[in-house]
Structure 1
Amino acid sequence: MSAESTPEPGIPGESVISSRSRRAGGRRRKPRSGRRKGLVIAAWTAAGIVVLGGSGAGYLYVKLNGNLKSVDIDQALGADRPEKADNGSENILVLGSDTRSGRNGKLGGGADDGSARSDTAMIVHLYRGHKKADVVSIPRDTIIDRPECTDPKGEDHPAAHGAMFNSAYSTGGAACAVKTVESMTGLRMDHYLEVDFSGFQKLIDELGGVEVTTTKNIEDPDSHLDLKAGTHRLNGRQALGLVRTRHGVGDGSDLGRIQLQQAFLKALVDQVKDVGLLTSPKKLYDLADTATKTVTTDSGLGSVNALMSFAAGLKSISANNMHMVTMPVRYDPADPNRVIVQKAKARMVWDALKNDRPIPKSATQGTATGEAKGVVTS
């Protein structure tokens, strides 16, 4: 299936939500569950450790350190990988997995079968100096060629042609997801962050919720979401519903949902500056405790010290200097529930990031958006 065989549709450009945080008290596709964000969680973790460490609370530090889960991506993938950039930039693969076990099964609305797929995938490119970032979303339904992978149990899986992108995670876990992204892009993923459903919901509640204004009614029973046009202060469950909804907005595609996710991420980044955490040590600890239980990292970020150092380097990045796009794709003529990479345009994106340059507008112009733009605003 050639990405150049039909006219090029589909990329959201800038985000469709821009919000402030406050204290909270023709469809193309079947609706599915959605997912969440890890970069902001790392920043909150770092904030918690800075304050708690400064107060000499060694016990709390040890407890938070014990919460973290990590995966040794370097050992799993070996040396046959793209080289690290030598220009001071970094790439982080951020995944949200839709695991159907425990609390996540209830939140996701699916069967509790213990399976998992990467439901949200973003490449976060930190420019040299870490003062600005580009975020490139990868639609979960993208048809790709998955490389051969070894799963966490040591079982080998042969390469697959015409696989869905999110099957890489379910096939071989975090390492296979990273290997697949590196194979697609030619970019080295310097770090890996993964977040789950239930942790996201709790974090939003502990952060005080998020205020958004909807320009249209959004109703999606599968996502437990019912918002009339107007201003709302979303709690964790509502926020999760917003970033999960597919058929509640636009054309029901994953591209429309990605627009909501990107916009909501910007809202969370803005929230960091608005919540007075330093006035409440307990609130600060609760956030750090939830964050470290929620996130899974690569081994390079697998301690609170490493996570603290990493997140402290992101303090200059605000929503205003985060540019968000979606990997250039078009709908698959053989199946409108799938998308295909627009290879020439995607190469423009990956080349820009590799050389630490802004993504050219021409890489993301003139294509479909999922028709959800402007549904939620500040």
Structure 2
Amino acid sequence: MGEDKAVPGHRAGTRAGRRARPAKRRRAVAVAGWTAAGVLVLGGSGLGYFYVKFNGNIKSVDLDAALGKDRPADVDNGSQDILVLGSDSRGGANSEYGRDDGGSARSDTAMIVHVYEGHRRASVISIPRDTLVTRPSCQTASGRTDPGGPRRMFNESFTVGGAPCAVKTVEQMSGIRMDHYLEVDFTGFKEIIDKLGGVEVTTAKPIKDGASHLDLPAGTHRLNGEQALGLVRTRKSVGDGSDLGRIQLQQAFIKALLKQVKGIGLFDNPKRLLDLADTGTKAVTTDSRLGDVKSLMGFASGLSGIDSKDMQMITLPVGGDTRDPNRVVPLQKESALVWEALRADRPIPPEATEKSAGDKGTAGSVVS
């Protein structure tokens, strides 16, 4: 086993100007990441004051300016690739979850969402935060250059250089250009779930995790924001106690969330829709191409045809690191199969995950 290298060849992503087939119905949509709800936005126009207000809520990052031209080629083949991050910043409203050095932000969860041509199917690849990769050089917030290097934890990219460094690392790993970037933090995630009225899940066995403040008996529950956050952060009390098990829980929760969003009739309740739009646009950070309500709304509308049953979810093929039992490394051959499939806009083949430690656990079966 060794670290994954950048895969030669390029399957480019799509730009914001790509057109998806119109959805039969306008619906609020949540697309993957441990928050899928990070892309919940407005459905409709003519909102006047609210439109301006929501525009002002959205935070964005100009990745084109930050990364320049040293990126995989951008070829229009009808698909899209989006990097979705869960931000684990421990400053401000998130400080109740503990403190890290200097309150710096961390990427607690990362997912690559590949939307296939036609925007009716998607694949989601979760990247374990403890994956050892060769990190590229990145500019830090202070303006200096961090040289990067081999055997660096994947989630350090976000800590070192924010969204641009995280995107640069993913693009180097995969050889795939990320068309968009979405990020949401602890507090935003909780508030979105609460505005949705909670999310219903069924647990096959009790889950009690002191670290994530979660205590659920077996059975069906409607989780509020605090409980939902506890679930997606739970690790030691489910499965083998590793981050790989936590990823399976997150994937199961995302599917439950998608089902809920499509079934609650947001457009029949204008107040709930406006409250959710206000909360959602405050919670997310996007790339600059999605940095306004019109662009974000168009992006979400183009994804509204994707149901949870049409979403293939895997963990990046990884194995244990021979030098550090607390780390994993990408399986080179199997990871290459994943990236090749996405570049060609094809489903990920089953053999890509057959030897991976990431999809072997049982944690995902605990929640439905």
Q: TM-score, normalised by structure 2?
A: 0.89
Distance (whole Å) between structure 2 residues aligned to residue 62 and residue 86 of structure 1: 31
- Bigger relative contact order, structure 1 or 2 (CA pairs below 8 A, ≥6 apart): 1
Aligned to 2:367: 376
CA deviation string 1:243-299 (max 9, x = no partner) = 001102011111100001111111111112211222221111110000000000000
From the superposition, tell whether residues 200 and 185 of structure 1 become closer, same or farther in structure 2 (CA, over 3 Å).
same
Aligned to 2:41: 45
SS at match of 1:223: coil
Distance (whole Å) between structure 1 residues aligned to residue 295 and residue 123 of structure 2: 22
1:242 equivalenced with 2:227 (yes/no): no
1:270 equivalenced with 2:266 (yes/no): no
CA drift of 1:36 comes to: 5.8
SS at match of 1:74: helix
Counterpart AA for 1:64: F
- Which of these residues, 118, 122, 126, is aligned with residue 111 of structure 2? 122
The question of whether the paired residues in 2 share the 8 Å contact of 1:37 and 1:265 is answered with yes
1:289 equivalenced with 2:278 (yes/no): yes
Aligned to 2:68: 78
SS at match of 1:373: helix
Aligned to 1:181: 170
Most deviating of 321-330 and 208-217: 208-217
CA drift of 1:113 comes to: 3.3
CA drift of 1:373 comes to: 3.4
Distance (whole Å) between structure 2 residues aligned to residue 234 and residue 331 of structure 1: 33
The question of whether the paired residues in 2 share the 8 Å contact of 1:105 and 1:111 is answered with no
Most deviating of 157-166 and 292-301: 157-166
1:323 equivalenced with 2:301 (yes/no): no
The question of whether the paired residues in 2 share the 8 Å contact of 1:330 and 1:340 is answered with yes
Q: TM-score, normalised by structure 1?
A: 0.86
From the superposition, tell whether residues 36 and 128 of structure 1 become closer, same or farther in structure 2 (CA, over 3 Å).
closer
Alignment of 1:184-223 (within 5 A): 184-223=173-212
From the superposition, tell whether residues 79 and 367 of structure 1 become closer, same or farther in structure 2 (CA, over 3 Å).
closer
Counterpart AA for 1:45: V
CA drift of 1:157 comes to: 1.0
Distance (whole Å) between structure 1 residues aligned to residue 341 and residue 92 of structure 2: 41
Aligned to 2:2: 2
Percent identical pairs in the alignment equals: 60
CA drift of 1:121 comes to: 0.3
Aligned to 1:367: 356
The number of aligned residues is: 339
Counterpart AA for 1:266: K
Aligned to 1:29: none
Distance (whole Å) between structure 1 residues aligned to residue 159 and residue 3 of structure 2: 25
Distance (whole Å) between structure 2 residues aligned to residue 140 and residue 348 of structure 1: 21
Aligned to 2:52: 62
The question of whether the paired residues in 2 share the 8 Å contact of 1:105 and 1:112 is answered with no
The question of whether the paired residues in 1 share the 8 Å contact of 2:37 and 2:192 is answered with no
SS at match of 1:198: helix
From the superposition, tell whether residues 261 and 205 of structure 1 become closer, same or farther in structure 2 (CA, over 3 Å).
same
CA deviation string 1:21-41 (max 9, x = no partner) = xxxxxxxxxxxxxx9635433
- Which of these residues, 72, 84, 88, is aligned with residue 98 of structure 1? 88
The question of whether the paired residues in 2 share the 8 Å contact of 1:125 and 1:133 is answered with yes
CA deviation string 1:330-358 (max 9, x = no partner) = 11122221101101100000000000001
Counterpart AA for 1:113: G
Distance (whole Å) between structure 1 residues aligned to residue 185 and residue 55 of structure 2: 18
Aligned to 1:18: none
CA drift of 1:115 comes to: 1.1
From the superposition, tell whether residues 249 and 319 of structure 1 become closer, same or farther in structure 2 (CA, over 3 Å).
same
Distance (whole Å) between structure 2 residues aligned to residue 58 and residue 37 of structure 1: 32
The question of whether the paired residues in 1 share the 8 Å contact of 2:111 and 2:126 is answered with yes
The question of whether the paired residues in 1 share the 8 Å contact of 2:38 and 2:182 is answered with no
- Which of these residues, 242, 264, 288, is aligned with residue 253 of structure 1? 242
CA deviation string 1:298-330 (max 9, x = no partner) = 000000011011111001111010110010001
CA drift of 1:154 comes to: 2.3
Distance (whole Å) between structure 2 residues aligned to residue 82 and residue 258 of structure 1: 27
Most deviating of 231-240 and 151-160: 151-160
RMSD (CA atoms)? 1.7
